[in-house]
Chains A and B, each alone.
Chain A
């Protein structure tokens, strides 16, 4: 009996452990994005209040701060889960590499701490602090939110482009934690993620108030909130395009196999085409039904139309990521990014001509759609990064299969986590929608 149990449980911890990590991280990232982005919106709204004395701006900041409280608290919980999971699911990874890449986690601990402290002060300080001081206590929230993302993503970038150590006789020596933090992939990946966080916040907020404006077009409160949110999202669209391009160039250099998977590039060739859409087939080793732009991939990756792009066929089978998932996720991210680009361009043209947002209801409907889509794009980007790194947990140095725990019951843990997180997600959304439904007039007179 116990023998059978042992067989069953040790047969495969890798899949449930990866699913568990992917699911809890995917959940946390959404909350983390709001933790980075919402403080900026709160600061702007409260700043407008300080400038104009208009109580509506203050209400906006106060209501956002309450939503922030909910999202930050749930994010703190899901973040704690992740810090435990590093040891519970990937003990071999942490045991071997913790010394090399632990430093950004220690730093992140401080940033998270400062964010929690000032979140407490800001949220409970509305009546206790002078107005200007209260506004100032919002700054550390925004700054430490930014820094949290910065530190933690450098650690992830290191998994893609390990640096800051040497291996001598199988032992890790000459550890330089700063070199590990600031590896080849850090700059692009960190910037890409933080910009994405602002975009997700901006588009989510804009989507919510666009929905409100569709029902009540004259609502001044919703109009202001909508404008702030959408501006935050749109401003970063062109930035993200440049950063995305930078990011792809870094991947081309540090992880050519990931780039090949992203693009569904099987043959190594010069003048490689950029594929839009298409379904890669790992059996026949070709990507079908894609629109191909000749030479564009070579150009985008190496700034030269005739540069050679390495194809998946040149890598051994046990070093290739699952190409279908990576390619599809990449297409989704780029597709949504392009839609945002069109929206931004449309808004700009309209603004130049009429000095206002487009009047059409279809504009608002598009923005409503952009909220969830921005989250989808961000998650798709994470799938590209994480699944594209497989089968490695530390690219080129440690396989994910060698890092996983030997503990039993990971499937059950995953099932339990799914149900708990489902409850957590529903309760979060319910709380947020109840907060939004408090009638504004009532709220304006109360404190």
Chain B
């Protein structure tokens, strides 16, 4: 195992944390979008309060993944900038509006009408961002991305990434975020002891959870048809993670049903984690299949070792700080104290 493999593991960990933590934040906005007409003020407050202290830190995982890719696998970073030109631009638009709308809603202090406008923008942007980011991931996974060359037509830049799998993963990641958010918010509602909210979110978790189960099977079929190379990876290496994902998914549904909320959160996160690692492991060693492998894209080993030292050192500061943040705002005891 060389330094590039270690770095890939770090990147996959960061990506997982972004998908789980950032995904839940996006999911909260997706729920706001899909329930816009019937949600009460109290239900909305619940959503905004839950993501308040943590969303910005959760967002940084994405920047982190990008920076590791740029430094450790510069050729892949450059290729993605070219091939995923449109979906990444659209993701950026989503990120700008999501972040901006959240902060202007919370701190803007505007009149009610303006508040509603920001909430609407927040909801739409929270749905659009995972759609395009998920589609970008699906475009990579499809194994059909061509790196545009000097002679490529503009249409190849704009539309070349679109494939059935990309479209599917776009919507799949919306569902994934919504599911995570529903389970996370069930727990938050339970922690503050609000029965009404707990019932709503429990029911939402169960229904999205079932849908996600169906979609996940559909996804496997999709991969088998659309991305034969990836499917081969799943058969030879990735299959244990499919089983883990399945077990975690079912487990999370049972735990939500029983209102064992912390366990449900862990299981739901586990299901998502297994999906991402399953993809990563099955696709290895390609980083942008079919043309770019990690060996072609990586920086020289010396640089990679240096990065790993930096990451390890940074982690010594980062992880305790992150733990402190979550303990303060997501820990059960403190929340109870404040709620009382």
A-side interface residues toward B, CB under 8 Å? 2, 5-6, 9-10, 66, 69-70, 72-74, 76-81, 83-84, 86-92, 94-100, 102-103, 105-110, 112-114, 116-121, 123-125, 127-129, 140, 175-178, 405-409, 413, 416, 420, 424, 427-428, 430-431, 434-435, 438
Contact = CB atoms under 8 A, between A and B. Distances in A.
B310 A107 contact: yes
B157 interface: yes
A76 B85 CA distance: 21
B66 A114 contact: no
Nearest to B75: A95
Interface in B88-127: 88-89, 91-93, 95-97, 99-100, 102-104, 107-110
A417 to B, nearest CB: 9
A152 B57 CA distance: 19
Contact of B158 (A124, A129, A409): A409
Contacts of A105: 67, 70-71
Contacts, number: 232
B81 A69 contact: no
B115 to A, nearest CB: 12
Contacts of B257: none
A91 B299 CA distance: 15
A76 B55 CA distance: 11
Contacts of A120: 53-54, 56-57, 325, 329
B63 A430 contact: no
Nearest to A438: B109
Contacts of B157: 406-408
Interface stretch (B188-196, B272-280, B315-323): B315-323
B295 interface: no
B45 interface: no
A128 B70 contact: no
Most buried by B among A5, A83, A89: A83
14 contacts: A2-B153, A2-B154, A5-B153, A70-B103, A76-B56, A77-B99, A83-B63, A84-B88, A86-B77, A99-B74, A117-B321, A120-B56, A120-B325, A406-B82
B77 A98 contact: yes
B72 interface: yes
A9 B154 contact: yes
Given A74-B103, A430-B110, A98 B92 contact: no
Contact of B109 (A6, A72, A83, A434): A434
B103 A106 contact: no
B102 A88 contact: no
B338 interface: yes
A408 B85 CA distance: 9
A114 B71 contact: no
A435 B107 contact: yes
Contact of A407 (B108, B148, B303, B325): B148
B109 A431 contact: yes
Contacts of A112: 60, 63
A79 B50 CA distance: 24
A76 B59 contact: yes
Contacts of B56: 72-73, 76, 116, 119-120
A140 B334 CA distance: 23
Contacts of B97: 420
Contacts of B64: 109, 113
B302 interface: yes
Contact of A175 (B93, B158, B302, B328): B302
Contact of B57 (A87, A92, A113): A113
A87 B321 contact: no
A86 B70 contact: yes
A118 B321 contact: yes
B155 interface: yes
B52 A114 contact: no
Interface of B, secondary structure class, is: helix
B112 to A, nearest CB: 14
Interface residues of B, number: 69
B102 A98 contact: no
A114 B321 contact: yes
B154 A5 contact: yes
A431 B104 contact: yes
Nearest to B93: A420
Contacts of A424: 96, 100
A109 B148 CA distance: 29
A116 B52 CA distance: 12
B103 A117 contact: no
B114 to A, nearest CB: 9
A108 to B, nearest CB: 7
B145 to A, nearest CB: 14
A103 B78 contact: no
A80 B321 contact: no
B306 A116 contact: no
A127 B337 CA distance: 12
Contacts of B155: 2
A413 B56 CA distance: 26
A112 B321 CA distance: 13
A6 B153 contact: yes
A420 B103 contact: no
A112 B60 CA distance: 8
A74 B334 CA distance: 30
B68 interface: yes
A267 B40 CA distance: 73
Given A83-B66, A91-B81, A408-B157, A128 B334 contact: yes
B109 A178 contact: no
B311 interface: yes
A108 B79 contact: no
B224 to A, nearest CB: 31
Nearest to A81: B92
Contacts of B325: 117, 120-121
B81 A110 contact: no
B62 interface: yes
Contact of A109 (B60, B300, B317): B60
B218 to A, nearest CB: 30
A117 B104 contact: no
Contact of B79 (A9, A72, A95): A95
Contacts of B314: 107, 109-110, 113
Given A74-B100, A128-B328, 10 more contacts: A81-B96, A84-B66, A90-B81, A99-B72, A105-B70, A110-B317, A113-B322, A116-B56, A420-B93, A430-B110
B259 interface: no
B126 to A, nearest CB: 14
A90 B66 CA distance: 14
Contact of A116 (B59, B103, B148, B338): B59
Nearest to B73: A98
Contact of B85 (A86, A88, A140, A177): A88
A140 B321 contact: yes
Contacts of B102: 73
